[in-house]
């Protein structure tokens, strides 16, 4: 049987002949696609895009120069009775322990220089659930300290008993269980704010919720609890 050199030879099984370089490329692409691993990535929780959780309130204009009072004749008064010294470990209004932690109830909370609306606003907070430490009580006002040590007075209505936390230091790992070897649920960037669900007394771990993720975080990786404090939120 003679073969015409100008005529292509068709395979017996009916497939169209394909040039070998293209066939090799298709085989290579198929092998890479099959070998590529499919891995679920651990989510990373970022803090809000707002650069800071508080903003300095504009300072009020300086008060007018004081007028020297008239000289008055001193009056000798009877000695005042001895004042009752309050227990520094308890609030004078609520009777709750001092210091203690609370969290901000809203996204806009005014921090004032004194316990009253007549005192100027020093900072405005923009982070709901941000933890603060209550140090003193006066009527409906609470002297608080924020995670950076800034102190001022806020109205009790702007605080919540629900416990919050803020991640400190470097990136932290939210674990599935209270163990350093437990699988990671999420990676937490510094300044991420979340909620404390529970902490056993003297335990190094607390169960927390960050956004939609629940897991365990070490006490020394966030700010929002007293040492060896039991929390049941």
CATH of domain 165-232: 2.30.30.40
Q: Which residues contact 203 (CB under 8 A, 6 or more apart)?
A: 178, 219
The per-residue pLDDT for 44 is 86
pLDDT score for 15: 43
Q: Convert the pLDDT of each residue in 100-134 to its tens digit.
A: 999 999 999 999 999 999 999 999 999 999 999 99
> Angle at the Cα of 87 (from 159 to 201), degrees rounded to 5?
60
* CATH architecture of the domain with residue range 88-162: Roll (2.30)
Mark residue 93 as left, alpha or beta (left: phi above 0; alpha: psi -120 to 50; beta: remaining): alpha
DSSP 117: T
- Name, in order, each residue with C-beta under 8 angstroms of 114's C-beta and a sequence gap of 6 or more: 153
Q: Please report the pLDDT score of residue 10 as a whole number.
A: 43
Q: How far is CA 2 from CA 5, 11, 13, in A?
A: 9, 17, 21
The rounded distance, in Å, linking the Cα atoms of 216 and 178 is 6
SS3 34: helix
DSSP 3-state of 225: coil
Q: How far apart are CA 104 and CA 107, in angstroms?
A: 8
- In this prediction, the residues of the chain whose per-residue pLDDT falls under 50 are 3, 8-18, 32, 36, 38-39, 51
Residue 73 in tokens: 């004749």
What residues does CATH 2.30.30.40 cover in the chain? 88-162, 165-232
DSSP 3-state of 115: coil
Alpha helices of 11-159 — where are they, by DSSP H? Answer: 20-35
């Amino acid at each position: 049987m003679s073969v015409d050199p100008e005529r292509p030879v068709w395979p017996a099984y009916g497939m169209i002949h394909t040039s070998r370089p293209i066939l090799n490329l298709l085989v290579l692409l198929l092998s890479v696609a099959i070998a590529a691993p499919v891995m679920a990535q651990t989510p990373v929780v970022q803090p809000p895009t707002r650069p800071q959780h508080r903003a300095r309130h504009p300072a009020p204009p300086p008060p007018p120069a004081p007028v020297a009072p008239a000289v008055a004749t001193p009056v000798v008064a009877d000695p005042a009775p001895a004042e009752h010294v309050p227990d520094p470990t308890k609030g004078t209004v609520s009777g709750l322990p001092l210091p203690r932690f609370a969290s901000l109830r809203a996204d806009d909370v005014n921090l004032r220089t004194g316990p009253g609306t007549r005192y100027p606003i020093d900072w405005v907070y923009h982070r709901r659930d941000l933890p603060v430490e209550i140090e003193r009580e006066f009527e409906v006002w609470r002297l608080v300290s924020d995670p950076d040590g800034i102190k001022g007075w806020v109205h009790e209505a702007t605080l919540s008993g629900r416990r919050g936390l803020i991640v400190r230091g470097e990136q932290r790992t939210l674990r599935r269980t209270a163990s350093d070897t437990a699988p990671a649920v999420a990676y937490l960037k510094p300044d991420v704010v979340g909620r404390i669900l529970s902490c056993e007394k003297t335990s190094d771990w607390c169960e927390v919720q960050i956004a939609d993720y629940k897991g365990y975080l070490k006490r020394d990786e966030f700010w929002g609890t007293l040492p060896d404090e039991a929390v049941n939120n």
